[in-house]
């Protein structure tokens, strides 16, 4: 027991799920609940943000603070919430289409900012909510209901992209390795800075190539000798695919978090605890009159 709650089910919510049977989103939902429990966090200490898509439904199924926003716009409200209340553990759940497509600009610039939030991308290689058209991570040549002649664009490599921009934490997980994924989630949540975990999550309906079996035959865990601080080596590791796909923390470094560079926030009470009234805005509006 903790604070009057039964910790083992404090994140459970009685809601029928709209995900297909066998969808990797079910595993991710259970893994994030387990990770939060093992970190001994209570629901009031957690905010889960999302945009639009199958992955974006996750806040509906976890009993914590939640914000469901616009397509590709999960990161901006998450950043704002963290700036206003830095005591919150702010977590974003999004899909490869939502984050790497519509939200690509927000991803790039929050890697640069290094805001202290955690980003979990459910990467199934398709737009699952809208019937399986190609997403930014769909492999070249793949035929879909929309790309009937095959995809002609090269796929985005999110880990390589993140490392090229010197992200402070980049990892890859797989829903077929649950305990490993829980450990990755915990390490990402505890990381001080912007943390991306790209989660390989097969779509059982619209992606008949990158199946659980396909990944099981290729995925391997990085061993303890792997040096995630070596950026060049990490970039090389991020390029591995097809014959062997590494999972684990691929790159990790220390960078100053965004809010530590803002004088009006650094070392001062959180904005949520400051006493402001509407008339206080007059001081900042004088220059406009």
Instruction: Name the β-bridge partners of 249.
Output: 171
pLDDT mean over 170-187: 98
What is the distance between the alpha carbons of residues 99 and 72, in angstroms, rounded to a whole number? 6
Q: What is the pLDDT of residue 1?
A: 45
pLDDT tens column, 101-144: 999 999 999 999 999 999 999 999 999 998 899 999 999 999 99
What is the distance between the alpha carbons of residues 198 and 173, in angstroms, rounded to a whole number? 6
What is the distance between the alpha carbons of residues 97 and 184, in angstroms, rounded to a whole number? 22
Task: Please give the C-alpha separations between residue 135 and each of 16, 116, 132, 142, 153, in angstroms, as whole numbers.
Answer: 27, 27, 8, 11, 10
Q: What values do phi and psi take at 45, rounded to 5?
A: -95, 0
Q: What is the pLDDT of residue 107?
A: 97
Q: What values do phi and psi take at 47, rounded to 5?
A: -125, 125
Task: Please give the C-alpha separations between residue 210 and each of 139, 140, 175, 205, in angstroms, as whole numbers.
Answer: 10, 13, 12, 11
Where do runs of H (alpha helix) occur along 239-281?
Answer: none
pLDDT mean over 168-192: 98
Split at pLDDT 50, 70, 90, the class of 42 is very high
- In sequence order, the 6+-apart residues with CB closer than 8 A to the CB of 67 are 47, 48, 49, 50, 59, 77, 78, 81
As a whole-number percent, the residues of the chain with pLDDT over 90 amount to 84
pLDDT tens column, 183-229: 999 999 999 999 999 999 999 999 999 999 999 999 999 999 999 99
- In sequence order, the 6+-apart residues with CB closer than 8 A to the CB of 244 are 218, 220
- Residue entry with tokens 């519509």: 102
What is the distance between the alpha carbons of residues 183 and 150, in angstroms, rounded to a whole number? 37
Q: What is the pLDDT of residue 288?
A: 85
Residues counted in the chain: 289
Is pLDDT above 60 for 268? yes
- Residue entry with tokens 């963290």: 82
What is the distance between the alpha carbons of residues 160 and 165, in angstroms, rounded to a whole number? 9
Q: What mean pLDDT, rounded, does the chain reach?
A: 94
């Amino acid at each position: 027991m903790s604070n009057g709650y039964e910790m083992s089910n404090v994140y459970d919510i009685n809601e029928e799920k709209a995900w297909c049977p066998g969808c990797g989103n079910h595993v991710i939902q259970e893994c994030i609940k387990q990770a939060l429990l093992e970190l001994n966090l209570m629901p009031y200490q957690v905010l889960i943000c999302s945009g639009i898509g199958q992955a974006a439904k996750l806040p509906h199924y976890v009993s914590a603070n939640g914000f469901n926003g616009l397509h590709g716009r999960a990161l901006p409200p998450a950043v704002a919430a963290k700036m206003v209340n830095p005591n919150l553990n702010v977590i974003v759940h999004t899909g490869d289409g939502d984050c790497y497509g519509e939200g690509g600009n927000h991803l790039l610039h929050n890697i640069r900012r290094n805001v202290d939030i955690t980003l979990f991308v459910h990467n199934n290689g398709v737009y699952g909510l809208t019937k399986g058209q190609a997403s930014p991570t769909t492999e070249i040549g793949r035929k879909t209901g929309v790309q009937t002649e095959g995809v002609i664009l090269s796929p985005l490599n999110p880990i390589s992209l993140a490392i090229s921009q010197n992200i402070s934490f980049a990892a890859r997980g797989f829903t077929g390795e649950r305990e490993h994924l829980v450990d990755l989630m915990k390490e990402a949540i505890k990381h001080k800075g912007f943390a991306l975990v790209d989660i390989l999550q097969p779509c059982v309906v619209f992606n008949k190539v990158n199946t659980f079996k396909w990944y099981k035959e290729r995925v391997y865990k990085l061993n303890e000798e792997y040096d995630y601080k070596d950026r060049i080596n990490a970039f090389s590791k991020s390029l591995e695919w097809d014959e062997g796909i590494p999972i684990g923390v691929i790159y990790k470094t220390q960078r100053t978090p965004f809010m530590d560079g803002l004088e009006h926030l650094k070392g001062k009470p959180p904005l949520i605890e400051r006493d402001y009234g509407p008339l206080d805005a007059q001081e900042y509006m004088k220059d406009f009159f």
